[in-house]
């Protein structure tokens, strides 16, 4: 029974997240339905990171097993044909060894958050960014972000409904980049870790936004982290600004 690794891209706006649910439409359901339509098989997809409602992906990784061995380009193109008109695309499909697991073999996950920073709201990219109309200082955000790097108890940046057994996580990257685009700036927050708590990235970005407008300092961010008190962190940044951009795997599975 061959195992297929899929690279998946999707616009999260119309979906209630990745994971299949009883009533609401999800990315997993759309792809599993498409696989059944072309192959006649009922499959269960496993993904690298189960994104929340409204969150996008440009390099989600998933795997599935099929009884019949199909050409990989056939798997890719057939799923893409049957997911229409939903905004989901299989970018690549390949056969991998049976011990590859999209979730459990992952050693690092990468997210990007986009803040659209100008007084006027966006017209073109409004479904992919967080519009912050007051000025932000990316340097202050970067200084504050450095206080979050390393292994910590991230309870202050954890959703109340988070089911993780432990709040301890190691944040490996927290990069802030400013991009000038026409008459506006985008502030892009790039972050990486082996795994994240539920809503951790969005709570961190909301807190860094407060640092960027001078309402809190880098030392305040460190104090919030140390407190473990979620009521002290910033607002949860909206889902549409967040994109799952990649995942790394342990050898020999590569990227």
The residues annotated as belonging to the active site are 52
Host H or E run for residue 248? strand 242-249
Query: Which single residue is written with the structure tokens 């695309």?
Result: 89
What is the DSSP code string of 18-72? SS--SSS--HHHHHHHHHHHHH------EES--PPTT-EEEEEEEEEE-SS---H
For residue 58, give every residue at least 6 positions away whose Cβ sits within 8 Å of its Cβ, in sequence order, or none: 9, 243, 244, 245
For residue 115, give every residue at least 6 positions away whose Cβ sits within 8 Å of its Cβ, in sequence order, or none: 129, 130, 132, 136, 186, 187, 188, 189, 205, 209, 237, 241
Distance CA 252, CA 255 (A): 9
């Amino acid at each position: 029974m061959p195992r297929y690794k899929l690279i998946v891209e999707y616009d999260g706006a119309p979906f209630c997240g990745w994971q299949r649910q009883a009533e609401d439409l999800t990315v997993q359901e759309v792809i599993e339905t498409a696989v059944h339509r072309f192959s006649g098989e009922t499959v269960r997809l496993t993904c690298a990171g189960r994104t929340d409602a409204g969150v996008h992906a440009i390099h989600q990784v998933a795997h599935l097993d099929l009884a019949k061995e199909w050409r990989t380009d056939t798997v890719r193109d057939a799923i893409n044909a049957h997911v229409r008109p939903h905004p989901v695309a299989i970018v690549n499909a390949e056969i991998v060894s049976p011990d590859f697991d999209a979730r459990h073999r992952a050693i690092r996950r990468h997210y990007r958050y986009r803040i659209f920073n100008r007084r006027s709201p966006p017209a073109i990219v409004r479904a992919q960014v967080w519009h912050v109309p007051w000025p932000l200082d990316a340097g202050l955000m970067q200084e504050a972000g450095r206080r979050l790097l390393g292994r910590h108890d991230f309870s202050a940046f954890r959703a109340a409904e988070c089911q993780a057994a432990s709040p301890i996580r190691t944040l490996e990257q927290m990069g802030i980049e400013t991009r000038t685009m026409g008459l506006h700036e985008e502030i892009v927050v790039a972050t990486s870790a082996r795994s994240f708590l539920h809503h951790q990235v969005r709570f961190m970005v909301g807190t860094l936004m407060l640092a960027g407008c001078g309402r809190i300092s880098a030392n305040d961010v460190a104090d919030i982290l140390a407190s473990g008190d979620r009521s002290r962190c910033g607002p949860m940044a909206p889902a549409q600004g967040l994109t799952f951009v990649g995942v790394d795997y342990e050898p020999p599975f590569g990227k």
